[in-house]
Structure 1
Amino acid sequence: MHLITFIEIIMSAAAIITLFITALMLPKRFKKTGFIIACLAAVIVLLFFAVRPFWFAYQVSVKTELLNEYLEEKYSGEQWDIRRREGRQYNPYHLEVRFKNEKGWVYTYLVVNENQICQTVWTPPEGEFPDEGKHYESNHCE
């Protein structure tokens, strides 16, 4: 588990515990409502942490498919690998493309939607400039 995820879970648990303690201290006529609110918050937080990884995986698969279609249209007849960098510190929607006919180059694409796909980062081999790449695109997302 990544440190950021651990901190998020600890902070959420502290907030839920605070809600339960606050519900205990409420006057008798408001206790039931306080516990209902605390339980509802706990369920929402649990659902959030349970669903989020699957949501990211689904979104990445959709964006990978959109990028694949874009590359098929723009660079038909070529081959490439699409990957994303693993880890919480990296944007899950930045997809790295390595073309088979251009060794050492890595192009990072941002897929906003099907109409807005653009290169955001170029990683050329040492000693080369980004605009020297065969697949360099100068379109930037706004």
Structure 2
Amino acid sequence: MDPISIIEISASIFFVIVIFVIALLLPSKVRKLSLVIAFSLTLLLLLFFAIRPFWVDYQVSVKTEQLNQYLEGKYPNQEWGISREVGRRYNPYDLEVIFEKEQGWTYTYLVVNETNICQVGWSPPEGKFPNEGKYFEDNDCE
């Protein structure tokens, strides 16, 4: 598990414990309502942590398809592979492309939406400059 996830989960557990302690310390007139609210917040946090990975995976699959369509329009009759860095420290929407005819080069694309796709990074082989790549794009994301 990533350190960021551990910090998020620990902070959420601390938050839930504080909410429950406060709910138990309130007068008996509002204790039941405050416990229901604390339980509801706990349930929402659990749902958030359970659903978020599936939501990110869904968004990545949509953005991968959008990137495929972009590359098919920009580089017809070319072959490529699309992957992404896994882990919380990486932007899940940065997709890495390796073109079949240019092994050793990795291009990173940011897919904002279907009309806003741009190359945000590249990894050339040692001794090469980024602008020497066949598929190097010098554009800015909007």
TM range (shorter): over 0.9
Match runs of 1:4-19 below 5 Å: 4-19=4-19
Aligned to 1:113: 113
Number of equivalenced pairs: 142
- Work out the CA distance in 2 between the residues paired with 1:126 and 1:13: 46
Offset at 1:2?
Answer: 1.5
Give the residue type in structure 2 aligned to 1:10: S
RMSD over aligned Cα atoms: 0.7
Give unpaired runs (5+ residues) of structure 1.
none
1:28-77 deviation digits (Å, cap 9, x = unpaired)? 11101110110110010000000000000000000000000000111111
Offset at 1:21?
Answer: 0.7
Offset at 1:128?
Answer: 1.1
Give the residue type in structure 1 aligned to 2:41: A
Give the residue type in structure 1 aligned to 2:105: W
Give unpaired runs (5+ residues) of structure 2.
none
Aligned to 1:79: 79
Moved over 6 A (4+): none
- Work out the CA distance in 1 between the residues paired with 2:86 and 2:23: 40
Aligned to 1:29: 29
Offset at 1:103?
Answer: 1.2
The percent of aligned pairs where both chains have the same amino acid is 56
- Work out the CA distance in 1 between the residues paired with 2:11 and 2:89: 19
- Work out the CA distance in 2 between the residues paired with 1:132 and 1:2: 36
SS at match of 1:122: strand
Give the residue type in structure 1 aligned to 2:100: K
- Work out the CA distance in 2 between the residues paired with 1:11 and 1:136: 42
Offset at 1:95?
Answer: 0.3
Offset at 1:3?
Answer: 1.8
- Work out the CA distance in 1 between the residues paired with 2:50 and 2:74: 38
Offset at 1:25?
Answer: 0.3
Give the TM-score, by structure 1 length: 0.97
Offset at 1:79?
Answer: 0.3
SS at match of 2:36: helix
Offset at 1:87?
Answer: 1.1
Compare 108-117 and 121-130 and name the one that shifted more. Answer: 121-130
SS at match of 1:5: helix
Offset at 1:108?
Answer: 0.2
